[in-house]
Amino acid sequence: MNMNVFPLVMTPAFRHGSQTPWGGHALKELFGKDTPEDITGESLEVSALPGLESCVSGGEYAGKTLREMHSLWGKSLTGLEGKDFPLLLKFLDTRQPLSVQVHPDDSYALSHEGKLGKSEAWYILDAAPGAELVYGINTRGESLRSVLDAGKLESCLCRTEVHAGDVFYIPAGTVHALGAGIRCYEIQQTSDLTYRLWDWGRVGKDGRPRQLHIEQAIAVSNINSLPVRGETVEKLPGGLRTLLVSDPHFRLYACDLGGRLSLATGKMQFLSATAKGCTLCWEDHRISLLPWQTAVLPAALPEIAVEGRGRILVSSPA
């Protein structure tokens, strides 16, 4: 891991229009993203999904996709063996609620779909007054199938009002749905596997409801319980670092800057500036991140620090 690497400031890819009919205007209006359409639901800040790859925004590798950078830098970038890029980071804006859904774990996904499953976490960036999401399901002792057959699913969904700064850990098997009026940061395994359990009775422009995946959702849902999440706060020179979520696949931290904060090295990290922006410092170099920009920090960086005031979000492989 001795390749000459440096932070990569990313230009996001977008899901928009008919891909995210529930999306809104906030990615452009609040976060300054160059969205392709007014209705844009997702800004994929760090993505190696085919067709939805984020790109390097400037410098000698400007325009190269994350997949190309992974091919070029390999383990020096990710710190991991293997050809697959492990994580996906995106911002979401919900003008309407998303479907009630659940993701399979790796074991089920590999045996039934031939790909990895998905665990994820949400950090709420902004929320309209009274905005809520679905976080878990309580079938009150009945099976999920009997609840569905009786048409009682909506009454069993656990709804939670949300506010900026709230954190939700969503390991595979957790029934969940973002509600309307929420802007959030999502870190997840690189996977597009979603089983839709309920879509609020909505129909598309063709008059048909979207496809549900009832059998798969029943098979993988973890009902009547929610994941345990604990936070660990470290006071460091230059700020505070809080471990928000620890999953077998990723870690999510919030860092509250009060000057210059040195970051641990040896693991790839995704660093997202929030409303105040920040400055990355390594060796004899400095680069500024604008508000809501994200940089990929390669695992092989010998040192890296961040300067600024306010909160940044940092994710890394576990």
Q: Among this protein's residues, is 196 annotated catalytic?
A: yes
Does 60 fall in a domain?
Answer: yes
Catalytic residue among 196, 241, 251, 311: 196
Same domain, residue pair 144 and 41: yes
CA–CA gap between residue 68 and residue 65 (Å, rounded): 5
Domain count, the chain: 2
| Domain shared by 213 and 176, yes or no | yes
pLDDT digits (tens, 9 = 90+) for 214-257: 999 999 999 988 888 889 999 999 999 999 999 999 999 999 99
* Euclidean distance between CA atoms 253 and 276, whole angstroms: 17
Summarize pLDDT for 67-126 with one digit per residue, the tens. Answer: 999 999 999 999 999 889 999 999 999 999 999 999 999 999 999 999 999 999 999 999
Whether 227 is covered by a domain: the verdict is no
| Residue 199 and residue 298 in one domain | no
pLDDT digits (tens, 9 = 90+) for 30-57: 999 999 999 999 999 999 999 999 999 9
Domain span at residue 145?
8-220
3-state DSSP assignment of residue 45: strand
Task: Answer yes or no: do 155 and 266 share one domain.
Answer: no
| Lowest-confidence region among 3-7, 123-127, 259-263 | 3-7
Residues 70 and 166 in one domain: yes
Residue 209: pLDDT band with limits 50, 70, 90: confident
Q: Please tell me whether residues 274 and 151 are part of one structural domain.
A: no
In a domain, 305, yes or no: yes
Task: Tell me the mean pLDDT in the region 172-201.
Answer: 96
3-state SS string for 220-270: HCCCCCCCCCCCEEEEECCEEEEEEEECCCEEEEEEEEEEEEECCCCCCEE
Output the domain CATH number for residue 87: 2.60.120.10
